[in-house]
Each structure stands twice: as structure tokens, then as C-alpha cells.
A = this chain, B = another copy of it.
Amino acid sequence: MAQSDTVDRILDAAEELFADRGFSETSLRMITSKAKVNLAAVNYHFGSKNALIHAVFARFLTPFSATLESAFDELEERCEGKPPTLNQTLWALTESAVRMPQRNEQGISIFMRLLGLAYTQSQGHLRKFLEQEYSEPFGRFMRLLKEATPQLSSVDRYWRIQFMLGATAFTMSSSDALRDILKNKLGVETTVQEIAARLVPFLAAGMQAEDAMLIPSPGSKVSVA
């Protein structure tokens, strides 16, 4: 258990610290001291800090994309040729995330926060890595979204997908902080599953909104029921 132990301890520590503080704000010395391994172990086993970041993502993203593929397979089979609905597609994604085998109880939380950071922090190498490693499930999700919203123009759909992405990535990337605020303010505890359960209806409703499409001109008083 010599190598695997060190490698896993580094990955565990890095995952948690990255999720807590972001990538640039986490040093290798923090990681190695939390993992109780030698500083040089990171560069020995992974090659560089960036490669470690990639490894952290790959460790949960690879099994997740497999889970997601089979969830989409099952969904499409169940629909027998008809395109899955928007809600079904969104739930397939959410359930795949929630059902993933967890290393610990806050696995999803960390997972989501890392995904949010991947979009939010400007780490060019990370985005490139994710795009070329996981383009397939991502593209498939986009295809399903398109088939589920035939009433939308390409342009509307494009922007609304961005809105969904933003709401999700942003919320998840700060979900711990938000949960804390909520706990202090209203005394309510919240799980990631509950956040997801609130997020999906929000996204679906926004995605299918009647398009008011009123461009406000200066001086006009806009009021939409």
C-alpha cells in the first residue's frame, strides 16, 4: 500500500483544500502537510501542481461521466424514440451526481464546488483539460437539451443554457458559504440534495419561460404581469 496510500492521501488533501480555498490560494506545502507526506511527493507522483489539479478532477469526473452516460442511455431507452423532457434530462444529470459513490459524506458538495471553481477561476489549463477529456457527455447533454426545448430559437436556447450553467456553477461554487449564511440567518440546515432539488425546478421554469423579450428604452415604464 506504499504508493497508492501516498497518492490517495495527496488527492484527498488537495481535493478538500482546493474546494475550500481555490487553486491558486492552495499551496503544495499546505497539501503535503495536511496529507502528512513529503513536499516532493507531489512532483514525484504527479509531475506538477497543474497535473495534480487534473488528477483531482479525473478521479471523480471519470466515474461520473460513465454514470451519466448510462443514465442517459437508460433515459433514452425508456422514452422509446421520443425525446426526453427537459425535467427528465435535468433530473438524470442531478441524480447521477447525487448517486455517485462518495468517498465521504460531503463528497458531492466538494465535487460541485470544484466544478464551479473550474468554470469560475480562470485556469486555462484546466478548461482545456476538461474540454478534451469530457467533451462527449457534455455534448450529449447539450443535444438532449436541444431536443427537449424545440420551441426555443437557437439563440434563446443558447442564452438560457448559459443562464442555467451560471446559476448552477455559481451556487455550487459557493454552496458551503451559502449554507453557513442560511444556517446563521434562519437556523436551517441544508443538504446538497436539497439545493439540487430546489435548483432543478428553478432552471426548468426559466428554460421554459414565456419570452417577454421587452427591451427597455430609456424613459419607458416596463411592467410585465
With contacts A120-B120, A206-B206 known, is A165 near B170, CB below 8 A?
yes
Assess whether B171 is in contact with A158, with CB atoms less than 8 Å apart: no
With contacts A20-B122, A167-B166 known, is A158 near B173, CB below 8 A?
no
Assess whether B21 is in contact with A122, with CB atoms less than 8 Å apart: yes
Q: What distance in Å separates the Cβ of A94 from its nearest Cβ neighbour in chain B?
A: 7
Q: Which residue of B lies closest to A156 (CB)?
A: B198
A 181-225 binary contact with B (CB < 8 Å = 1; else 0):
010011010100111011111111111111111111010011111
B contact residues around A170 at 8 Å (CB): 116, 119-120, 162, 165-167, 169-170
With contacts A197-B214, A201-B209, A205-B210 known, is A223 near B22, CB below 8 A?
no
With contacts A24-B25, A120-B116, A121-B22 known, is A95 near B171, CB below 8 A?
no
Residue among A170, A194, A197, A225 with max Cβ neighbours from chain B (10 Å): A170
A218 to B98, CA, bound (A): 9
Assess whether A223 is in contact with B88, with CB atoms less than 8 Å apart: yes
| Copies of this chain | 2
> How many residues of A are in contact with the other chain, CB < 8 A?
73
B contact residues around A58 at 8 Å (CB): none
A103 to B120, CA, bound (A): 25
A22 to B223, CA, bound (A): 36
A35 to B7, CA, bound (A): 44
Interface flag for A164 (CB, 8 Å): yes
Interface flag for A6 (CB, 8 Å): no
Within 8 A of B (CB), among A123-168: 154-156, 158-160, 162-168
Assess whether A223 is in contact with B188, with CB atoms less than 8 Å apart: no
Q: What distance in Å separates the Cβ of A149 from its nearest Cβ neighbour in chain B?
A: 12
Q: What distance in Å separates the Cβ of A140 from its nearest Cβ neighbour in chain B?
A: 17
A sample of 13 cross-chain residue pairs with beta-carbon separation below 8 angstroms, ordered by A number, consists of: A22-B122, A25-B122, A85-B224, A88-B223, A99-B218, A120-B121, A120-B170, A158-B185, A166-B170, A201-B211, A201-B212, A205-B208, A205-B210
